[in-house]
Amino acid sequence: MNQKISIAALLLIAVTLAVGTRLIFTMEVPVYSDDGSKITGFAVQSFEVYEDINETQELQDLSRIPNPFRK
Amino acid sequence: MAKSEVQPIYRCETEVRKPSIFLSHEPGLETLIAVENSDHWGFDPSLKKDPRSPELWLEDGIREHKEMVSVLRGKGIEILYLRSLLEGKKHEIKRYILNEFYRIRNKLAPLDRSVKKAIDASVTAMMDSLVSGVLLGLESGRRFREMKYSKKREVYCLLETLMPQTSIYFTQDPVISTPNGLVKAQMAMPIRRQEPDIMQIALGKKNYIHELGSTTEGGDITMCSSLSYAAGGDVRYVGGTMLFGVSAQSGKGIEEEIMRILKKSGVNRLFVFYMPNISDSSLSYAGGNVMHLDTIMMPIADGVLLANVNMLKKSRVSEGIGGKLVNGYHWARKNFERVISVPDREQQGTYGWGSNVLPLGNMEVLSSTHLRYTNKNLREAGFDVIAINAATLTSGFGSFHCMTAYLMWMQQQNLYSRALKRQK
């Protein structure tokens, strides 16, 4: 069972590397005091994301649908 | 017992539609100590300059409260009184007082013998008159009540229980209404720590679905509707959107706590609202009061937000946990069709709490007469503003939204009545 999961995970990584594009996103996250009792501010954190090209194209197609709220 | 019989009957999908039942509490003698010593009890420090005696303040406060209840009843809304609910729970109150007393017995050691005797006499007085006793705390006993304030303060700081429930007339804070039932809040200020316990005794454990493990109060969570549209461009609003205010006082673990509430409460959509006092601690309210979401912004109708723009701009919002943080004002413009402004001078303080109006559904709100500019903006936006005087009670740091806990809305009550009829 574990072997099957490992093979599936390897395959997934391989496919992602083959078709994916490496993107870096930045996001603000809350920062806590040393004792963890308070939120003291926000910090920018970077994330590396592999985005699927096909999914991006799909999103672009969706964005062409007119927004019903826009007059 | 059938499963349906033990499900919570008090719930809230959205606070912007016509309410059916509110929970309220008419302030009583338990509030006097806060009027006299506003700094310690989280009331407006300007009360020190108030020419009225505390008794006269209470008289005015009770008059304002009665007027609020009269308006709400006139709108067909049922008002449940905390005191009346407690009258039916004397056995639970007795157990609670005794538990609290035994829990703190070891802490009494460093106190003078005379103080210990006064505490014993107060607990006896509380047991003699349970409802007044649990509300008045150690002030129930004459010997303790007549002690010097500095001594009493020392005892209250040491015990953090058996205290007079000075702020419990803000019934919104100790309990959180969600689509699946009630959530027991956890108060940030030690002087308010007993409120969720007393509220839970009154409303009954069967109506609760969760107890919070981190400091979040009812004023931090608001249920509203969010925009949705079906194919063909039909715009509609669906209930079950939770706005969750996270303040500087929310410690580590708040994200996990939000996830737990989300799982239990039947929420469709969640926005986490990081309050302005995180970035600027000087914005925190005087007297150690906690900044609440409903004192800086309130959804008051489908697609309409009442808010102070400066406070929105100093806030950050994310959809869900870990979503991208965006500026609060941009979020409001994107997620609401209209933002009605509360001017800076009416945002907080003695003549403030402009965002803390009470939405009554059908473009109607209950507001205080001292909010001249906010009321004008609301009327210009097409709202029917019922303005009554609340300038006395708001010195406890909150207005009509804080003074009412939303327990049920009309559509839900109809469903509940039908279910009851079917059972019969």
How many angstroms separate the Cα of B17 from the Cα of each of B133, B182, B191, B353, B414?
36, 18, 33, 21, 14
In this predicted structure, what is the pLDDT of residue B408? 86
* Min Cα separation B326/chain A (Å): 9
In this predicted structure, what is the pLDDT of residue A65? 39
Contact (Cβ atoms closer than 8 angstroms) between residue B175 and residue B12: no
In this predicted structure, what is the pLDDT of residue B135? 98
Cβ of A29 and B278 within 8 Å? Answer: no
The DSSP 8-state label assigned to residue B343 in this structure reads P
Output the six-digit token pair for B325: 């943080």
Residue A6 scores a pLDDT above 70: no
In this predicted structure, what is the pLDDT of residue B411? 63
**Dihedral in degrees, nearest 10, Cα atoms B388, B392, B396, B401:** -10
Contact (Cβ atoms closer than 8 angstroms) between residue B161 and residue B193: yes
In this predicted structure, what is the pLDDT of residue A18? 52
Contact (Cβ atoms closer than 8 angstroms) between residue B214 and residue B250: yes
pLDDT in tens, B85-113: 999 999 999 999 999 999 999 999 999 99
Contact (Cβ atoms closer than 8 angstroms) between residue B162 and residue B122: yes
Residue A14 scores a pLDDT above 60: no
Question: Which residue, among A23, A26, A39, would best test binding to B if mutated, counting the most B CBs under 10 Å from its CB?
Answer: A39
Cα B77 to Cα B80: distance, rounded to the nearest angstrom: 10
In this predicted structure, what is the pLDDT of residue B422? 65
Residues in B touching A39 (Cβ below 8 Å) = 246-248, 250-251, 254, 274, 278
Output the six-digit token pair for A38: 């308070």
Cα A63 to Cα A55: distance, rounded to the nearest angstrom: 13
In this predicted structure, what is the pLDDT of residue A33? 87
Q: In b/e form, how buried is each residue of A6-16, taking b as 16+ CB within 10 angstroms?
A: eeeeeeeeeee
Contact (Cβ atoms closer than 8 angstroms) between residue B368 and residue B351: no
pTM: 0.86
Query: Of the candidates B275, B294, B278, B277, which has an alpha carbon nearest to the alpha carbon of residue B286?
Result: B277
Residues in B touching A36 (Cβ below 8 Å) = 251-253
Contact (Cβ atoms closer than 8 angstroms) between residue B157 and residue B96: no
* Min Cα separation B422/chain A (Å): 42
Residue A30 scores a pLDDT above 90: no
Query: How do B234-246 and B221-230 pair as beta strands?
Result: antiparallel
Query: How do B358-361 and B181-184 pair as beta strands?
Result: unpaired
Residues in A touching B274 (Cβ below 8 Å) = 30, 39, 42
Report the mean per-residue pLDDT for chain A: 61
Low-confidence ranges of chain B (pLDDT < 70): 1-6, 229-235, 410-424
Q: In degrees, to the nearest 5, what angle opens at C-alpha B389 toward C-alphas B384 and B391?
A: 125
In this predicted structure, what is the pLDDT of residue B134? 98
Residue A57 scores a pLDDT above 70: no
